[in-house]
């Protein structure tokens, strides 16, 4: 189930670009989109915890602080860098730079001794990266803005750190409480920024709220829960590689919803990403579904037992 959960998460995240464009068309500003996205997501997750007490679990103070920090520092920073870059550079080039993070996650996890770079995983990473490159280059692109490129790479680095830190927490608490704390942390940071800059602009109609609800429910809540559940089962490298399915989903939905049709190059890239997703599930005989690193061994006794994954 781990790889399937990661793919579902990537599909939900991939739909966010489409929902975002439709929200912009409805008059929603980028800063308002982010604020409402995280606020609605935190509220939805909190409501889920209220109606499903079995999803809760005791949380140690240190784990609580890390989870809130993931949102307040990690997620909020990554989103801020991404949308700052989007204002000054081509979206396709931005996505291309951002999706260096699977390589960064894999290399860093191996360097830290928290994962193993098997031949199959290395091949899957190469295939997925080539496929993503073809999908994104198939859209065409303009000149690279140096400032935008730095911001985009900063978003990739931030997301790399976010995944690696999240991997130390997903074994200590179920996905729903973890996602709730991450969303709440991000909302607090963005709300503070909004107040400093004059307050949020919520002067848009019902259609704008509809697309914001889609972003919060599908591309944030469902995407986050399935990502944490998948990360818990697969490890950071595999989760990052499978996340390269996201731009493929974005390209397909853009063709269906926005009439931005796929080129043969994009189709070839999509097939490569799907092939990589299948390849990483093929493991040598006797190899477990996830490499049992020292980190996982230390945390195995503290994993929550009462569902939520």
Read off the tokens for 134. 């073809």
- Spatial separation of the C-alpha atoms in residues 101 and 74, rounded to whole Å: 14
pLDDT of 44 strictly over 70: yes
Q: For 246-260, write each residue's pLDDT tens digit.
A: 777 877 887 788 776
For residue 262, what pLDDT band results from cuts at 50, 70 and 90? low
Chain CA centroid to CA 301, Å: 27
Query: Looking at residue 190, what is its pLDDT?
Result: 92
Of residues 10, 16, 45, the one with CA closest to residue 186: 45
pLDDT of 291 strictly over 50: no
- Spatial separation of the C-alpha atoms in residues 86 and 8, rounded to whole Å: 25
- pTM comes to 0.73
SS (H, E, C) the chain: CHHHHHHHHHHHHHHHHHHHHHHHHCCCCHHHHHHHHHHHHHHHHHHHHHHCHHHCCCCCHHHHHHHHHHHHHHHHHHHHHHHHHHCCCCHHHHHHHHCCHHHHHHHHHHHCCCCCCCHHHHHHHHHHHHHHHHHHHCCCCCCCCHHHHHHHHHHHHHHHHHHHHHHCCCCCCCHHHHHHHHHHHHHHHHHHHHHHCCCCCCCCCHHHHHHHHHHHHHHHHHHHHHHHHHHHHHCHHHHHHHCCHHHHHHHHHHHHHCCCCCCHHHHHHHHHHHHHHHHCCCCCCCCCCCCCCHHHHHHHHHCCCCCCC
87-96, 179-188, 267-276, range with greatest mean pLDDT: 179-188
Percentage of residues of the chain with pLDDT beyond 70: 84
For residue 158, what pLDDT band results from cuts at 50, 70 and 90? very high
Percentage of residues of the chain with pLDDT beyond 90: 22
- Spatial separation of the C-alpha atoms in residues 195 and 51, rounded to whole Å: 32
Mean pLDDT, residues 8-18 taken together: 87
- Spatial separation of the C-alpha atoms in residues 49 and 105, rounded to whole Å: 31
Q: For 203-243, write each residue's pLDDT tens digit.
A: 888 999 999 999 999 998 898 889 888 888 887 777 777 87
């Amino acid at each position: 189930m781990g790889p399937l959960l990661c793919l579902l998460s990537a599909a939900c995240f991939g739909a966010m670009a489409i929902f975002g464009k439709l929200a912009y068309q409805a008059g929603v500003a980028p800063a308002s989109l982010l604020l409402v996205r995280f606020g609605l997501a935190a509220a939805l997750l909190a409501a889920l915890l209220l109606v499903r007490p079995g999803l809760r679990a005791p949380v140690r103070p240190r784990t609580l602080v890390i989870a809130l920090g993931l949102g307040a520092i990690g997620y909020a920073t990554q989103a801020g860098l991404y949308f700052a870059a989007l204002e000054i550079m081509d979206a396709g080039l931005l996505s291309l730079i951002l999706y260096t993070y699977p390589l960064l996650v894999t290399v860093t996890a191996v360097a830290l001794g928290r994962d193993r770079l098997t031949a199959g995983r290395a091949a899957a990473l190469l295939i997925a990266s080539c496929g993503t490159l073809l999908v994104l280059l198939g859209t065409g692109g303009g000149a690279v803005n140096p400032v935008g490129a730095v911001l985009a790479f900063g978003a990739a680095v931030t997301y790399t750190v976010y995944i690696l830190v999240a991997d130390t927490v997903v074994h200590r608490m179920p996905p729903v409480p973890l996602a709730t704390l991450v969303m709440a942390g991000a909302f607090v940071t963005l709300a503070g920024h909004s107040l400093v800059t004059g307050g949020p602009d919520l002067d848009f109609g019902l259609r704008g709220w509809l697309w914001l609800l889609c972003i919060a429910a599908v591309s944030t809540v469902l995407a986050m829960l399935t990502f944490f559940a998948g990360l818990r089962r697969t490890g950071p490298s595999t989760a990052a590689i499978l996340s390269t399915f996201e731009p493929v989903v974005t390209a397909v939905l853009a063709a269906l919803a926005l009439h931005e049709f796929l080129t043969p190059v994009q189709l070839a890239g999509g097939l490569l990403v799907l092939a990589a997703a299948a390849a990483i599930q093929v493991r040598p005989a006797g190899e477990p579904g996830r490499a049992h690193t020292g980190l996982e061994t230390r945390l195995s006794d503290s994993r929550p037992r009462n569902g939520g994954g």
